[in-house]
Amino acid sequence: MTTHTPMIQQYLKVKSEHKDAFLFFRLGDFYELFFTDAEEASQILEITLTSRDSGSRDRIPMCGVPYHAAAGYIETLVRKGHKVAICEQTENPKEAKGIVKREVVKIITPGTMTEGKTIDANTNHFIGSADIIDGNKYALAYLDLATGEGKVESVEGDERTLIAEIEALGMKEVVVDEGLHLALSDSMAKRSIVLSIEYGEEQFEMENLFGAIPNEVKEACSMLVSYVRRTQKTALDHIRPFEFIQKQTKLSIDANSMRNLELIQSIRNGSKDGTLYWLLDETVTAMGARKLKMWIHQPLAEKRAIENRLDAVTELIEEFFLRDELKTSLKEVYDLERLAGRISMGSASGRDLAQLRNSLRRVPNIKKALHESERPLLNQFSERIDGCEEALHILELAIAENPPLSVKEGGIIKDGYDEKLDQYRDASKNGKAWLAELEREERERTGIKSLKIGYNRIFGYYIEITKSNIHLADLERYERKQTLANAERYITPELKEKEDLILNAEAGGLELEYQLFSKVRDSMKTHIRHIQHLASVLSELDVLLSFAAVSEKRNYVKPVFHEGKALEIKNGRHPVVEKMIDHSLYVPNNCKLTDEANMLLITGPNMSGKSTYMRQVALIVVMAQIGCYVPCDQASLPVTDQIFTRIGAADDLASGQSTFMMEMMESQFAIANATAQSLLLFDEIGRGTSTYDGMALAQAMMEHIHNEIGANTLFSTHYHELTNLDNELSRLENVHVAAMEQDGKVVFLHKVMAGPADKSYGIYVADLAGLPESLLNRAKTLLTTFENVEKRTVHEDEPTQLNFFDIQHDEQVTLSAEEQDVLTNLNDADLLNMTPFQALQYIHELKEKLRPKKG
């Protein structure tokens, strides 16, 4: 290291303290990267890799980015899962004795990045921290650094349960100790979640953040705050006391179920389009949109709390004009939570403070409108609103109406706020006019028409009088500054005072204005808690207004909750599907689960709507428990504690999991964690393996849920043999999605009716998919043959089993050796695990074997 130049030695010393981050090392107007940082960053950022002399024998790799454009490059690195340490010059180069001092002023990580083009202000960006409480229990803390919102919960279960909750919250980074890092590193890497180690060496007093939470989860919170403090290296006054999420107060929905139900993100493209959030989001503020997402992620599980929200929505629905007035005012309210975060971390601009002031201006109208509504719950909202009058008063006095984005270009502070700043501005704007006026006044006072005011770099401003007129000058006021051949130059105290103002007006004015702005910004820190409380109330009001608007527009009804388990939905509709199609074309369906019969076995053709029906029930439960009206004619619901789904098929290629393995793992997770108050949705369990394996697993699962768990369950299947289970399981009932044949085609009625389905209509679905007519005709012939054989070989006391060898025993069918060989191959084939193309190819090969041989 001693062979390098002092600057490179300084770089290496700083880099040794931040080995896990790209080091952006400030040199003049650039951030430079060296050695392996430069090689890797140049590839990721697609910038030129160069080299420089380091004082040693070999040149070292180097790349760099302009400091004024660095934000975009940093965001790219962080978005790809890297950390970036920002190393700045911490002393004036002109005052430095030797090499300029530099130190890391901030470390930007995937969980702590709060600004950027890819940051969605409508979404919470949580960084998490996990800690082991005991062998089967974890503490999980999470914090949105931009808004200061912190929460903590205990997660019961194994590592998969913990990871599922981390995924559901959309975390990009999780802070752990060394032991948990080893246990989770592989799983997190597959999910592109960064694991960071925090040793917890920093000691600090944060009882105001942790005092109201259980001791067993405090370590996770402490570790998280310690990590954020260490990386951000700035004040964090906006971090609110951590809220402890009690499991019994929230409806738990794991990441897989959120994905299957498309609550926040579409399965198809990951966007919000086609999701429950997309349907309900008519919020007008970013903080309202974030709160809506959190409510969807964590619906309520307390009857009284749910009913309070529903009652508030009722009052808003009944107050149409008030709704319109409130929405108009809220549209002018900026993101108070993120503004408070910027103020706390010292990054708020003049424009941010102007937005805060403009937002606070709207609060009195909102508060007054709610108070005058004479609605009990809306009056309570009015009482909860803190107008932050003192903060508004300061901002009204200090901040200009339209300040620039930059904090060092002037134009932030209002005229009249500070006398000295006003003098600077006046001197800067009117300096020449003032000099001209002074020149005129001196000419009149002395009677010297040739008197003039001039300027040079050495003496500054001066009054010049020709020698022939010196006897007219007021030499008691004038102080000689310079003698020329034909004139004398003088200054006056007044001119000297103005000279300082004029010459230093711009620079001095900008410096003073930044100082004043910084004081105003710092003064807002004492109001952060009030601003955050106001933000919480207004965001809640924004979401409830959205619920009222959507409910009224789409003819939703108010659900009723009870203490039991029975669930009854009359003419329920899938809210998202209904919005996407003509409302008049949607076929509504009932769902009735009682204490005596709380399991439905759903059969019916593929594409008939079984999965849609199941999702519909789950979405109605979620909507009701976040406090929204629901899409049906009537809903009587229990309070559900958890929702588990196994819908759809998707390989987990990253971890090498097959569709069937994923199906089994998701099913196991649901069965292991469900309670009697949960809602389970299982769609086509067992289709990823052979027929009898799948049928056995499906039946065993239903029996276990029925006998051991007792949860409300919707279970769809293509195994019609399972419909006989209603004779064995007392709480199971059969329903089917109806279809009919018309002109040789299948017509899906999308209507759920009592009893099992009588046909699967698989060939008709293949027809809709466009398979060749010759293939379909052959399939129909085979189907008739197979069904006839099955009728003759099945006895009442034996399980249904179709064997293709039975065909050769039919006295009306005589088969050749080739045909018997084809049937043997067909009987042994695992068709359910073939892709459609493989199945077609296999059928083609069998067909070729049956083709008559020429000659």
- Cite the annotated binding site for ATP by residue number: 604-611
Assign residue 743 a region (left: φ > 0; alpha: ψ between -120 and 50; beta: otherwise).
Answer: left
Q: How far apart (Å, rounded) are the C-alpha atoms in residues 681 and 683?
A: 7
State the alpha helices, DSSP H only, in 626-761. 659-673, 691-704
Q: How far apart (Å, rounded) are the C-alpha atoms in residues 472 and 446?
A: 6
Residue with tokens 């293509």: 718
Q: Report how far Cα 613 is from the mean position of its chain's Cα atoms.
A: 28
Phi, psi of 70 (to 5 degrees): -70, -30
Residue 285 half-sphere exposure, CB side, CA atoms within 13 Å?
Answer: 30
**Structure-derived torsion over alpha carbons of residues 310, 618, 756, 671, reported in degrees to the nearest 10:** -130
Residue positions forming the annotated binding site: 604-611
Residue 418 half-sphere exposure, CB side, CA atoms within 13 Å?
Answer: 20
Q: How many residues does the chain have?
A: 855
In Å, how far are 77, 118, 234 from 84, measured between CA atoms?
Answer: 8, 17, 16
**Who contacts 403 (Cβ-Cβ below 8 Å, separation ≥6)?**
349, 350, 351, 353, 354, 411, 412
Q: How far apart (Å, rounded) are the C-alpha atoms in residues 153 and 739?
A: 47
Beta 679-683 vs 642-646: how paired, if at all?
Answer: parallel
Q: How far apart (Å, rounded) are the C-alpha atoms in residues 785 and 807?
A: 8
Tell me 267's DSSP state: T
Nearest Cα residue to 405 out of 363, 342, 345: 342
Q: How far apart (Å, rounded) are the C-alpha atoms in residues 142 and 167?
A: 12
In Å, how far are 119, 121, 240, 264 from 281, measured between CA atoms?
Answer: 19, 14, 26, 11
Q: How far apart (Å, rounded) are the C-alpha atoms in residues 336 and 470?
A: 67
DSSP-derived secondary structure for 181-196: HHHHHHHHHHTT-EEE
Are residues 101 and 91 in contact, defined by beta-carbon separation less than 8 angstroms? Answer: yes
